[in-house]
C-alpha cells in the first residue's frame, strides 16, 4: 500500500499539518474538538510523511503500527504527549536532506513555527503556575498570536512544489537529533535561567539562545582552527563525507586506465562489483548485464534489498540494515558510473576489432596493387626472355647483340623485383607501418614507361632536375590506380586516348593522367578521393581512396583538375604548386 499525493501539493499538506496542530494547542488539549484537529493532523502527516520515499510501499504491518500509535495518542492525549510529538516533528524537519532553496526555505519556516508554538504555548502551560494561555495574554495579544501565527503555514497554500517524486524523503538522523536536543536545551535552560536569575521568560529565552549560539560558534571555530576543517558547514556534515570516502577511493581506482587496461569488459565489470562488495554496509550483490551476458553473485542475501536498473545492468544490493536515502543515492551513483565505464570498455574493444579489420582490409587493398606491379615486372621479364629465345635461333651479330641487351634488361629488372617482394612481405608482417623508398624521378619515370609500353599510352615529360627524389611505392600506387581505371574505361570506350605527363620545374612536381572519354558522374566525383566508391563499376572502389589517404602526410596532393566530356584529368601535384597557384589544367 502506498500513501501519496501529487508531489507539487507537499507544501500545502505541510500547511495543513501545522494549522491542525496549532488549533489543537490553542484550544483545550483534552477536548473533543482538539482530538478532531489532531486526527486531521495525523491524517495529513501520513500523506506528507518524509520517512518513506515514493519508491517504497507502506506494508500492512507498518501501517497497523502507525494506527496503534495514533490511537494510543488520541486516547491518552495530553500536552506532554503533544510536546513530545512536536519535538519529533522538529527532528524530522531538521533532518531532511534538501537541495533546492525553495524546499529549504519552507522547511526552515516550518521549524521556526513549531519552535514558536513550543516556547509560547507548551512551556507556558506545562511549567508556569497559570496553566491557561488566555489568562496570561490580553485580548489583542491572544488574537495576534492565535490568528497571526496561522499566516505562516497559510502562506504554504500559495506555493507549489515541483513535480519530482524522489529526493525529498531523505532523513539525516544525526542532524534531526542534534536540532531536537538544542531545542530541549534552550527550553529547559530558559526555565532554569528565569527562576535562578529571577528574570522574565522572554529575556531568559533570548539570553539562553545567545549563549547556546555563542557556544556552538566557539566550538565550531576551535574545530576549524585546530582540526583543519575547511568550513563550519563541512564540520557539521562530516559524517556524510565519511560515508563517501569509500566512494572516492572506488572512483579513484576505476578512473585510472592502467588498473583495467589489460582486462576484458566482463573482467572489468566483475572487478568493479567485487570492489563494491567491500563497502561495510553491503552484505552481497547480484547483477546481470544484458549487453555483455555477464552475471554474477557476491556475498550473502539478506532481507534488506535495493534493486537498481540501469540501461544494461540490473543490480540487486543486499544490505545488513535498511538502506536509507543517502546510501541509496551513493550505491545508485556507483553502479551508474560502473556501467558508464563498462560501456566505454565495450566500445574500446569494438573499436580495437574494427581498427584491426580496417588495417587488414586496407593492407590487402594496398598489397593488391603491389602484386599488380610485380606482375607487370614479371610480364616484362617474360617478354624479354621470349625475345631472347627467338634471337638464339639466329647466329647473326645483330641477334647476339639482342641477347646481350636482354641479359642487361633482366639484370636491371631482377633487383627491382626482389626489392618489391621484400617491401610486400614487410607490409604483411607490419600492417599499417609503411616506409617509402625514394628514387630519382627519372629512374621511376623510365620504369613506369617500361611497364606500360604495350598499352598504347602516351607519355610526356619535362624534367628540369633529374636528381629530384620521389617515393617510388607511393607514386607507383597512385599511377597504377589511375592507369588501371583508364584502361578499364577503354574497354567500354575503345577509342579512348590515355595520356600521362610529368613536369618538374624548380622542384615543383606535377603528374597528370588524362583521357578524352566521358566525364565521371558528379555523385561519384564529389567523394571519389574522400571515401570508397560504393557503386564502382570496376574493382572494389577503394584504390583511389587508399592512394589519396596515403598522400595525407606527404608533400603531395591528388585531385581531379578536370572532369568534363572529352577531358578527364587527375593530378598528382606538390603542395608547393598549390600554394603558388600554378594552373595545372594547361599542362599536357
Whether residue 146 is found in the same domain as residue 24: yes
Whether residue 142 is found in the same domain as residue 40: yes
Whether residue 180 is found in the same domain as residue 117: yes
Last residue of a domain, one of 326, 351, 376: 351
Q: What is the full DSSP assignment across 124-175?
A: HHHHSS---HHHHS-HHHHHHHHHHTTHHHHGGGG----S--SSS--B-HHH
Per the document, the length of the chain is 588
* Residues in CB range of 574: below 8 A, 6 or more apart: 507, 508, 509, 510, 555, 556, 557
Whether residue 77 is found in the same domain as residue 169: yes
Whether residue 54 is found in the same domain as residue 191: yes
Whether residue 134 is found in the same domain as residue 282: no
Whether residue 102 is found in the same domain as residue 30: yes
| 487 within domain boundaries | yes
For residue 518, give the CATH number of its domain: 3.30.565.10
Query: Which is nearest to 404 in space by CA: 380, 423, 387?
Result: 387
> Residue 322: which domain range?
248-351
Whether residue 67 is found in the same domain as residue 182: yes
Last residue of a domain, one of 289, 321, 351: 351
Whether residue 34 is found in the same domain as residue 168: yes
| 240 within domain boundaries | no
Q: What is the full DSSP assignment across 396-414?
A: SHHHHHHHHHHHHHHHHHH
| 98 within domain boundaries | yes
Tally of structural domains, the chain? 3
Q: Which residue do the cell numbers 490568528 mark?
A: 147
Count of Cβ atoms closer than 10 Å to residue 280 Cβ: 6
Count of Cβ atoms closer than 10 Å to residue 206 Cβ: 14
Grid cell at residue 440: 630519382
Instruction: State pLDDT tens for residues 79-126.
Output: 888 999 999 999 999 888 776 778 888 989 999 999 998 988 888 888
Buried b (16+ CB within 10 A) or exposed e, 88-123: ebbbbbbbbbbeeeebeebbebbbebbbebbbbbbb
Whether residue 278 is found in the same domain as residue 151: no
Whether residue 46 is found in the same domain as residue 163: yes
Q: Helix, strand or coil for residue 92?
A: helix
pLDDT string in tens for the chain (588-residue length)? 555 566 678 888 999 999 999 888 877 666 788 888 888 998 888 888 777 655 455 667 777 888 888 888 888 888 888 999 999 999 999 888 776 778 888 989 999 999 998 988 888 888 876 555 555 555 566 677 777 888 889 898 888 876 655 445 667 778 888 899 999 999 999 999 988 888 888 899 999 999 999 998 888 787 767 655 545 555 555 555 444 445 555 666 666 666 566 777 777 788 788 877 877 678 888 888 776 566 788 888 888 888 888 888 888 988 877 776 667 777 888 888 888 887 878 788 788 777 766 766 666 666 666 666 666 666 666 666 666 555 555 555 665 666 666 666 666 666 666 666 666 666 555 555 556 678 888 888 988 888 787 788 999 998 887 778 888 888 888 898 899 889 889 988 989 999 999 998 877 889 999 999 999 888 788 778 877 775 565 554 577 877 888 888 788 889 999 999 999 999 999 877 666 655 444 343
Q: Helix, strand or coil for residue 299?
A: strand
| 508 within domain boundaries | yes
| 388 within domain boundaries | no
Look at phi and psi of residue 147 and say left if phi exceeds 0, alpha if psi is from -120 to 50, else beta.
alpha
Q: Which residue do the cell numbers 500559495 mark?
A: 158
229, 235 Cβ separation under 8 angstroms: yes
| 226 within domain boundaries | no
Alpha helices per DSSP H over 393-521 = 397-429, 441-451, 472-492
| 402 within domain boundaries | no
Count of Cβ atoms closer than 10 Å to residue 327 Cβ: 19
| 141 within domain boundaries | yes
Whether residue 174 is found in the same domain as residue 102: yes
Amino acid at each position: 500500500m502506498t500513501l501519496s499525493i501529487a508531489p507539487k501539493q507537499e507544501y500545502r499538506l505541510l500547511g495543513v499539518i501545522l494549522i491542525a496542530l496549532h488549533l489543537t494547542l490553542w484550544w483545550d488539549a483534552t477536548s473533543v474538538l482538539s482530538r478532531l484537529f489532531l486526527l486531521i493532523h495525523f491524517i495529513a502527516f501520513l500523506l506528507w510523511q518524509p520517512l518513506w520515499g515514493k519508491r517504497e510501499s507502506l506494508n500492512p504491518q507498518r501501517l497497523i503500527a502507525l494506527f496503534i500509535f495514533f490511537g494510543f495518542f488520541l486516547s491518552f492525549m495530553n500536552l506532554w504527549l503533544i510536546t513530545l510529538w512536536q519535538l519529533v516533528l522538529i527532528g524530522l524537519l531538521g533532518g531532511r536532506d534538501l537541495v533546492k532553496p525553495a524546499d529549504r526555505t519552507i522547511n526552515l519556516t516550518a521549524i521556526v513555527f513549531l519552535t514558536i508554538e513550543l516556547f509560547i504555548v507548551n512551556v507556558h502551560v506545562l511549567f508556569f503556575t497559570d496553566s491557561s494561555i488566555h489568562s496570561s495574554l490580553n485580548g489583542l495579544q491572544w488574537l495576534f498570536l492565535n490568528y497571526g501565527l496561522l499566516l505562516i503555514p497559510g502562506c504554504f497554500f500559495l506555493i507549489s512544489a515541483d513535480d519530482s517524486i524522489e529526493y525529498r524523503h531523505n532523513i539525516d538522523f544525526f542532524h534531526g537529533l542534534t536540532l531536537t536536543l538544542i531545542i530541549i536545551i534552550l527550553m529547559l535552560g530558559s526555565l532554569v535561567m528565569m527562576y535562578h536569575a529571577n528574570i522574565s521568560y522572554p529575556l531568559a529565552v533570548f539570553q539562553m539562545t545567545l549563549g547556546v549560539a555563542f557556544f556552538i560558534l566557539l566550538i565550531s571555530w576551535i574545530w576549524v582552527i585546530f582540526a583543519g576543517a575547511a568550513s563550519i558547514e563541512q564540520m557539521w556534515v562530516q559524517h556524510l563525507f565519511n560515508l563517501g570516502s569509500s566512494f572516492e577511493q572506488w572512483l579513484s581506482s576505476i578512473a585510472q586506465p592502467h588498473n583495467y587496461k589489460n582486462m576484458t569488459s566482463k573482467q572489468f565489470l566483475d572487478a568493479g562489483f567485487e570492489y563494491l562488495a567491500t563497502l561495510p554496509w553491503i552484505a552481497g550483490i547480484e547483477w546481470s548485464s544484458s549487453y555483455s551476458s555477464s552475471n554474477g553473485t557476491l556475498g550473502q542475501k539478506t532481507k534488506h534489498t535495493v534493486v537498481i536498473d540501469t540501461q544494461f545492468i540490473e543490480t540487486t544490493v543486499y544490505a545488513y540494515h535498511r538502506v536509507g536515502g543517502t546510501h541509496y543515492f551513493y550505491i545508485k551513483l556507483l553502479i551508474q558510473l560502473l556501467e558508464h565505464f563498462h560501456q566505454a570498455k565495450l566500445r574500446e574493444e569494438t573499436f580495437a576489432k574494427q581498427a584491426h579489420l580496417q588495417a587488414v582490409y586496407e593492407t590487402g587493398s594496398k598489397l593488391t596493387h603491389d602484386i599488380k606491379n610485380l606482375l607487370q615486372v614479371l610480364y616484362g621479364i617474360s617478354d624479354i626472355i621470349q625475345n631472347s629465345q627467338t634471337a638464339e635461333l639466329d647466329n647473326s651479330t645483330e641477334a647476339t647483340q639482342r641477347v646481350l641487351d636482354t641479359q642487361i634488361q633482366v639484370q636491371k629488372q631482377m633487383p627491382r623485383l626482389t626489392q618489391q617482394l621484400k617491401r610486400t612481405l614487410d607490409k604483411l608482417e607490419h600492417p599499417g607501418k609503411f616506409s617509402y623508398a625514394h628514387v630519382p624521378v627519372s629512374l621511376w619515370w623510365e620504369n613506369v614507361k617500361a611497364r606500360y609500353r604495350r598499352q598504347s599510352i602516351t607519355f610526356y615529360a619535362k624534367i628540369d632536375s633529374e636528381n629530384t627524389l620521389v617515393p617510388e611505392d607511393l607514386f607507383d600506387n597512385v599511377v597504377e590506380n589511375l592507369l588501371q581505371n583508364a584502361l578499364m574505361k577503354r574497354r567500354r570506350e575503345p577509342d579512348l586516348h590515355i595520356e600521362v605527363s610529368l613536369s618538374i620545374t624548380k622542384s615543383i612536381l606535377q603528374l597528370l593522367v588524362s583521357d578524352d572519354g566521358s566525364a565521371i558522374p558528379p555523385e561519384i566525383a564529389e567523394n571519389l578521393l574522400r571515401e570508397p566508391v560504393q557503386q564502382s563499376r570496376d574493382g572494389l572502389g577503394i584504390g583511389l581512396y587508399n592512394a589519396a589517404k596515403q598522400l595525407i602526410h606527404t608533400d603531395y596532393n591528388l585531385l581531379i583538375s578536370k572532369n568534363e566530356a572529352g577531358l578527364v584529368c587527375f593530378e598528382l601535384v606538390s603542395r608547393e604548386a598549390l600554394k603558388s597557384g600554378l594552373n595545372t589544367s594547361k599542362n599536357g
